[in-house]
C-alpha cells in the first residue's frame, strides 16, 4: 500500500515538471470562454493562450508562474474600470497582448499590467492603449520590460498616470519600448541597478523620464523628445547616462535634462538638440559631463552655484543662444578642452587647443540670470553692442567659469 501511494505521489510530481506543462486556450474555439477561468485552472508552468477576439475582463490575477500569450488580435478591454492584469507569481511571462482602457482613479494606480512582490517576470511585445498606468512594477526584482508599445491619451496631469512605473525595485531591464502621451513616460522611485536602454519616450505631459532616489542605474541610447518638461533626475548616486538624445523639449519650465542633487555620476556622449535648457545642474557634485553635443538650444547649460567639483570636458557647444549661465560670480567646477562655436581665439602651436582661454558666461547671461526680464532684449541691437564691447574690453566678461584651453575643432 505504501508503495502504491509513493507511486501516485511520484506521478503527480512528474506532472508538475515543465515538460508536462499544459496548453490552455481561451476563445470561442478554446478550452475556456474567459481568461479568468483559465487562470483559475492553470498550474505552474502552463501556457495560457488567448485566441483573437475582444475579452471584456478586468481585475485578473496570475497566482502561479506561467506563460500568458496572445495571438494577433487578442484584446483585453477593461472598459474604463479597474485594473486589467495583476501578477503575483515569480517567473511569469506576459507577451503579445493588446490591453485597453484601465480605469482612471484618484485612489488607486490602475494599470494595464502590474507586477507586485514578484521576481524574474517578463513583460514583452504587448500593446497598451488608453490605460491610466501602463506597466507598473512594485517590489519587483530581476524583471524585464521589453518591446512594448504604450500609448495613452493623457490630457491633464491629475487624470493621467505613467507609462512605465517602478517603485522599490532592483535589477530591472527596460528595453526597446515606445511610450507616449502619459504623465511621465518612465518613472522610477527607490530603484537600484536598473538599465533603461533603447526606449522612445515622447509627447508626455511632464517628463519623458523621471526618477528619484534611484542609485546605480544605467540609461543608454534612449530618445526623449517633445515632452512637457523633458527629463528629470533627482536625489540619486552613481548614475550613467550615455548616448541618449534629448530633443525639442520647449517650454517655460522645460529641460532636456534636469539634474538635482546628483553625485558621483557620468553624463557622456549624449545629444542635446533644440531644448529651452539643454542641461540644468543644481546641487550636483563629483559628476563628469563629457563628450556631449549641445546644438541649437536656448541655454546649453545652467550651472547653479550649489553644484561643486563637477568636470565638463570634450563637449561641443554649437549655435546655442546662451552657452553657459550661472547664478554666481565664483565657481568650484572645472571646464577644459571643450569646443565652443563662439570662441574666436587662435592656435599658434597647432596642438588643437586655443592659446587664449574662453569665458563661456557672458555678461548678458549673468545679468539675465539675475533679472530674467532683460531677456526681451536678447536679439536687440543693444545686446549686439554689449557683445562687441565684451570682445573689445574683455574685462567686462565674468571670470567665474573659464575653459583655459578650448578645442579649435569639435571632438570626433
Residues 6+ apart with CB under 8 A from 402: 335, 357, 358, 359
Q: Considering the domain boundaries, does residue 22 fall inside one? A: no
Q: Considering the domain boundaries, does residue 38 fall inside one? A: no
- Mapped onto helix, strand or coil, the DSSP state of residue 224 is strand
- In this prediction the pTM is 0.91
CA dihedral 230, 260, 322, 378 (to 10 degrees): 80
The CATH number covering residue 121 comes to 2.160.20
Q: What is the pLDDT along the chain (412 residues), one digit of tens a residue?
A: 444 444 444 444 444 444 588 999 999 999 999 999 999 999 999 999 999 999 999 999 999 999 999 999 999 999 999 999 999 999 999 999 999 999 999 899 999 999 999 999 999 999 999 999 999 999 999 999 999 999 999 989 988 999 999 999 999 999 999 999 999 999 999 999 999 999 999 999 999 999 999 999 999 999 999 999 899 999 999 999 999 999 999 887 889 999 999 999 999 999 999 999 999 999 999 999 999 999 999 999 999 999 999 999 999 999 999 999 998 878 899 999 999 999 989 989 889 999 999 999 876 777 777 777 777 666 666 666 767 776 666 666 777 789 999 999 999 7
Q: Considering the domain boundaries, does residue 10 fall inside one? A: no
What is the pLDDT at residue 6?
Answer: 43
| Range of the structural domain that residue 375 is part of | 45-396
What is the pLDDT at residue 327?
Answer: 87
- Mapped onto helix, strand or coil, the DSSP state of residue 150 is strand
Q: Considering the domain boundaries, does residue 72 fall inside one? A: yes
Q: Considering the domain boundaries, does residue 86 fall inside one? A: yes
- Mapped onto helix, strand or coil, the DSSP state of residue 149 is strand
* Total structural domains within the chain: 1
Q: Considering the domain boundaries, does residue 31 fall inside one? A: no
Q: Considering the domain boundaries, does residue 402 fall inside one? A: no
Q: Considering the domain boundaries, does residue 14 fall inside one? A: no
Burial class (CB in 10 A: 0-12, 13-18, 19+), 372: exposed
What is the pLDDT at residue 393?
Answer: 65
The span from the CA of 123 to the CA of 132, in Å, is: 18
What is the pLDDT at residue 5?
Answer: 42
Amino acid at each position: 500500500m505504501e508503495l502504491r501511494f509513493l507511486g501516485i505521489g511520484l506521478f503527480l510530481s512528474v506532472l508538475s515538471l515543465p515538460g508536462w506543462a499544459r496548453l490552455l486556450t481561451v476563445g470561442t474555439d478554446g478550452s475556456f470562454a474567459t481568461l479568468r477561468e483559465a487562470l483559475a485552472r492553470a498550474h505552474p508552468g502552463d501556457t495560457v493562450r488567448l485566441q483573437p477576439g475582444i475579452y471584456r475582463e478586468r481585475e485578473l490575477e496570475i497566482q502561479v508562474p506561467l506563460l500568458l500569450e496572445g495571438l494577433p488580435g487578442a484584446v483585453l478591454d477593461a472598459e474604463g474600470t479597474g485594473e486589467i492584469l495583476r501578477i503575483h507569481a515569480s517567473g511569469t511571462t506576459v507577451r503579445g497582448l493588446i490591453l485597453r482602457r484601465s480605469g482612471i482613479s484618484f485612489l488607486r494606480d490602475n494599470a494595464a499590467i502590474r507586477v507586485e512582490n514578484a521576481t524574474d517576470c517578463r513583460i514583452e511585445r504587448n500593446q497598451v492603449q488608453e490605460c491610466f498606468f501602463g506597466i507598473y512594477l512594485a517590489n519587483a526584482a530581476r524583471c524585464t520590460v521589453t518591446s512594448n508599445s504604450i500609448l495613452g491619451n493623457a490630457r491633464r496631469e491629475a487624470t493621467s498616470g505613467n507609462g512605465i512605473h517602478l517603485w522599490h525595485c532592483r535589477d530591472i531591464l527596460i528595453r526597446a519600448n515606445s511610450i507616449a502621451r502619459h504623465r511621465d513616460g518612465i518613472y522610477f522611485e527607490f530603484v537600484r541597478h536598473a538599465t533603461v536602454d533603447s526606449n522612445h519616450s515622447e509627447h508626455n505631459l511632464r517628463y519623458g523620464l523621471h526618477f528619484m532616489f534611484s542609485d546605480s542605474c544605467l540609461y543608454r541610447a534612449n530618445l526623449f523628445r517633445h515632452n512637457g518638461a523633458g527629463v528629470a533626475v533627482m536625489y540619486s548616486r552613481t548614475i550613467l547616462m550615455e548616448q541618449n538624445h534629448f530633443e525639442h523639449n520647449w517650454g517655460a519650465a522645460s529641460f532636456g535634462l534636469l539634474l538635482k542633487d546628483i553625485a558621483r555620476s557620468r553624463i557622456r556622449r549624449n545629444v542635446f538638440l533644440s531644448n529651452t535648457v539643454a542641461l540644468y545642474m543644481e546641487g550636483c557634485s563629483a559628476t563628469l559631463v563629457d563628450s556631449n553635443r549641445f546644438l541649437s538650444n536656448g541655454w546649453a547649460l545652467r550651472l547653479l552655484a550649489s553644484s561643486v567639483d563637477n568636470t565638463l570636458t570634450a563637449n561641443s557647444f554649437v549655435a546655442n543662444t546662451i552657452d553657459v549661465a550661472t547664478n554666481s560670480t565664483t565657481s568650484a567646477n572645472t571646464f577644459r578642452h571643450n569646443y565652443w562655436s563662439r570662441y574666436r581665439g587662435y592656435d599658434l602651436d597647432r596642438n588643437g587647443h586655443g592659446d587664449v582661454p574662453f569665458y563661456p558666461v557672458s555678461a548678458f547671461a549673468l545679468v539675465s540670470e539675475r533679472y530674467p526680464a532683460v531677456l526681451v532684449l536678447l536679439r536687440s541691437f543693444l545686446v549686439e553692442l554689449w557683445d562687441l564691447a565684451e570682445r573689445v574690453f574683455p574685462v567686462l566678461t565674468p571670470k567665474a567659469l573659464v575653459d583655459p584651453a578650448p578645442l579649435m575643432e569639435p571632438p570626433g
